[in-house]
Amino acid sequence: GRRVTVRDIAAAKERREKWPMLTAYDALTARIFDEAGIPVLLVGDTAAEVVFGHDSTVPVTVDDLLPLAAAVVRGSKRAMVVADLPFGSYQAGAPQALAAAARFVKEAGAHAVKLEGGRRVVPQVAAIVAAGIPVIGHLGLTPQSVNTLGGYRVQGRGSAGEELLKDAKALEAAGAFAVVLECVPEDLAARVTASLSISTIGIGGGNRTDAQVLVWQDMAGLTPRTAKFVKKYADLAGLLEEAARTYADEVVSGVYPAAEHSYR
């Protein structure tokens, strides 16, 4: 089988077929999500938080994310792998953005990149797309701007919704093939979805977007606190803690390793 491409994503929009996206940061989980049929995997800059233990996405670098993106590419067969351009790797302008995007494609084998912002990043999006690298935009709650937004809160209410729609149209005109809409009113997300020919990917944007994305540790119940928009599909934290406790007990009591785990 071949990888999912931007043409498959465009065809899904035409057929009004919704699709799921998950983050991935390592080869083993990438393989599981790939085999589960997730068509697009995002090596998110949320790795800053869920992999590296920072309290925002701001500190993570291209050098931090490159090996994770390479691992996700190696672990998957069918999914399109999208790499997030981290804070500080594209804001300076188109040449800087293209250099960062090209590293993800050349050094990690990523198939597309994602960056945050609307009209202010149009030159960056256009330059990356012109170089032959597909781009996803990201509007609404853009966590790299947490210090400007004043926290993690719903975006695009009232007249800010009109501005967000203009940003979405600017990203489409610049050549982006999709746009993430994070933490925005569902009516706004629906309106943007209906106004664009490219795909919208919601996270906290209601169920009228073309696709959905979640951080996998959130949807699998590994992270302690999550936003209202997260649905927990498993309790991995509970399962893992229980497994670790049982392992510890069995080592202390001598139950593990048993004969079948030993060589004679």
The catalytic residue positions are 182
The verdict on whether residue 200 carries a ligand-binding annotation is no
Q: φ, ψ for residue 60 (rounded to 5)?
A: -70, 145
Select from 41-49, 99-107, 163-171, 188-196 the region that touches ligand KIV (CB under 6 A): 41-49
CA–CA distance, 162 with 157 (Å, rounded to integer): 9
Least distance in angstroms from the C-beta of 45 to ligand KIV? 5
118 sits near Na ion (criterion: CB under 5 A): no
Using the rule CB under 5 A, is 49 a contact of Na ion?
no
- Annotation-wise, does 26 bind a ligand? no
Reading the block at residue 202, the tokens are 């919601």
Distance, CA of 54 to CA of 255 (rounded, Å): 38
Other beta carbons within 10 Å of 252: 9
Which H/E stretch holds residue 138? Answer: strand 135-140
Residue 86 binds to ligand KIV (criterion: CB under 6 A) = no
In this chain, which of 81, 176, 215, 219 binds ligand KIV, going by CB under 6 A? 215
Backbone angles phi, psi at 235, to 5 degrees: -120, 65
Site for Na ion in 81-100 (CB under 5 A): 84
Stretch that binds ligand KIV, among 39-47, 87-95, 245-253, 254-262 (CB under 6 A): 39-47
Burial of 257 (0-12, 13-18, 19+ CB in 10 A): exposed
- Binding residues (CB under 5 A) for Na ion: these are 44-45, 84
- Binding residues (CB under 6 A) for ligand KIV: these are 23, 42, 44-46, 84, 180, 203, 213, 215
Question: Which parts are annotated binding residues for Mg(2+)?
Answer: 45, 84, 116
